[in-house]
Amino acid sequence: MKYIYILNGRADKQPQYQGLRGQIKEIPHSWELYSTMGEGDATRFVRLRCDLYPAEEVCFVACGGLGIANEVASGLVGYTQSLQEAGPQSIKTMAIIAIGGNTGDFIVNYPGRDFCSVKAMLEGTVSDIDVIKVNDSYCINVCNIGFNSKVASRANELMSKGKTAHEAFTRGVINAVLTSRYNRIKVTVDGERIARGFMLLCTLANGRRVGGEFNCAPGAVLDDGLIDVCYFRAMSLLRFLKLVPLYRKGRHIGSRAGKNRVLYRQARKVTVSSSDIIDIYIDGEQLPGSYFEVSILPAALPLRLPPQQEGA
CATH code for the domain in which residue 147 is found: 2.60.200.40
- 198 with 174, same domain: the answer is yes
- 125 with 143, same domain: the answer is no
Overall number of domains in the chain:
2
CA distances from 44 to 2, 37, 61, 283, 284 (A): 19, 10, 15, 18, 19
Q: What is the domain extent for residue 106? A: 2-130+300-305
Burial readout 20-53 (b: 16 or more C-beta within 10 A, e: otherwise): beeebeeeeeebeebbbeeeebbbebbbebbeee
- Give the C-alpha separation, 167 to 159, whole Å: 9
For the stretch 212-242, pLDDT in tens is 788 999 999 999 999 999 999 999 888 988 9
pLDDT at 29: 96
Whether the predicted pLDDT of 101 surpasses 70: no
Whether the predicted pLDDT of 124 surpasses 80: yes
Whether the predicted pLDDT of 11 surpasses 90: no
- Give the C-alpha separation, 279 to 289, whole Å: 6
Determine, yes or no, domain membership for 66. yes
- 168 with 40, same domain: the answer is no
85 vs 104, more confident: 104
Record the pTM.
0.90
Does residue 96 sit in helix, strand or coil?
strand
Least confident span in 80-89, 197-206, 259-268, 270-279:
80-89
For the stretch 167-217, pLDDT in tens is 887 787 777 777 778 889 999 999 999 999 999 999 999 999 987 788 999
- Give the C-alpha separation, 201 to 232, whole Å: 5
CATH number assigned to the domain comprising residue 68: 3.40.50.10330
pLDDT at 298: 96
- Give the C-alpha separation, 291 to 173, whole Å: 25
Whether the predicted pLDDT of 125 surpasses 90: yes
For the stretch 126-154, pLDDT in tens is 999 999 999 999 999 999 998 877 777 77
Determine, yes or no, domain membership for 270. yes
- 88 with 146, same domain: the answer is no
- Please report, rounded to a whole number, the percentage of residues in the chain having pLDDT higher than 90: 69
- 124 with 145, same domain: the answer is no
Between strands 2-7 and 92-98, the pairing is unpaired
Determine, yes or no, domain membership for 31. yes
- 21 with 157, same domain: the answer is no
Determine, yes or no, domain membership for 310. no
Band the pLDDT of 88: cuts 50, 70, 90: very low
- 58 with 179, same domain: the answer is no
- 291 with 163, same domain: the answer is yes
213 vs 80, more confident: 213
Burial readout 244-269 (b: 16 or more C-beta within 10 A, e: otherwise): eebbbebebbeeebbeebbbbbbbee
CA distances from 190 to 82, 193, 225, 278, 289 (A): 25, 8, 14, 21, 20
- Give the C-alpha separation, 232 to 5, whole Å: 39
- 214 with 182, same domain: the answer is yes
**How many residues in the chain?**
312
Determine, yes or no, domain membership for 275. yes
- 102 with 177, same domain: the answer is no
Decide if 169 contacts 176 (C-beta within 8 A): no
pLDDT at 293: 98
Provide the β-strand partners of residue 96: 62
Determine, yes or no, domain membership for 312. no
Q: Which of 166, 144, 179 is nearest to 282 (CA)?
A: 144
Determine, yes or no, domain membership for 276. yes
- 126 with 154, same domain: the answer is no
Q: Cα–Cα–Cα angle for 291, 296, 298, nearest 5°?
A: 160
Q: Which of 260, 262, 239 is nearest to 250 (CA)?
A: 262
pLDDT at 103: 75
Determine, yes or no, domain membership for 18. yes
- 92 with 188, same domain: the answer is no
